[in-house]
Amino acid sequence: MAVAFADWLAIRELTTSYNRCFDEADADGWAQTFTPTGRLEVAGGGIACTGWTELADFCRSRGWGYLHMTLDPQIGVDEDRARQECNLLMLRRYEDQSPPTLLATGRYTDELVRTPAGWRFAERRVELDNLLGGPGGQP
């Protein structure tokens, strides 16, 4: 699957929006990085959310304090569908501005679709290597 630079860039921008919206607890903005019937699954974590309402509720339940970094993307595009795999570093931030702690590492496997509003996640699956620290022990 060849990837046009414009598609690669748009998918990376979508991923950036996903990260920033979640990290700033913008639940509605985060949910809308998915299609209306999009799905997030945390493999082995018992977490699966489908549709904008469930996704927004999940983001609200986590609140402020995360910092997602996605690295080393591999993206393939086939017309109006795409697949992305990327690594994840997740840190926990603290309101008192104490040093962040590394919470988890892992990887995302994404199925995306091109919509009139641009690329959106149809399905996003995250596999965490481990939960390393921070309060709550949940991503």
What's the confidence (pLDDT) of residue 130? 77
In-domain check, residue 100: yes
pTM for this entry = 0.90
Task: Render pLDDT for 14-33 as a digit per residue (tens, 0 to 9).
Answer: 999 999 999 999 999 999 99
| DSSP secondary structure of 77-94 | EETTEEEEEEEEEEEE--
In-domain check, residue 137: no
For the cut 80, the answer to whether the pLDDT of residue 2 exceeds it is: no
The domain that holds 52 is classified in CATH as 3.10.450.50
Task: Render pLDDT for 34-86 as a digit per residue (tens, 0 to 9).
Answer: 999 999 999 988 899 999 999 999 999 999 999 999 999 999 999 999 999 99
Q: What is the mean pLDDT of residues 122-134?
A: 81
- Please give the tally of structural domains in the chain: 1
Query: CA end-to-end span of the chain, whole Å?
Result: 32
In-domain check, residue 138: no
Domain that holds residue 90: 5-131
CA angle 23, 54, 83 (to 5 degrees): 70
Diameter over CA atoms, the chain: 46
In-domain check, residue 139: no
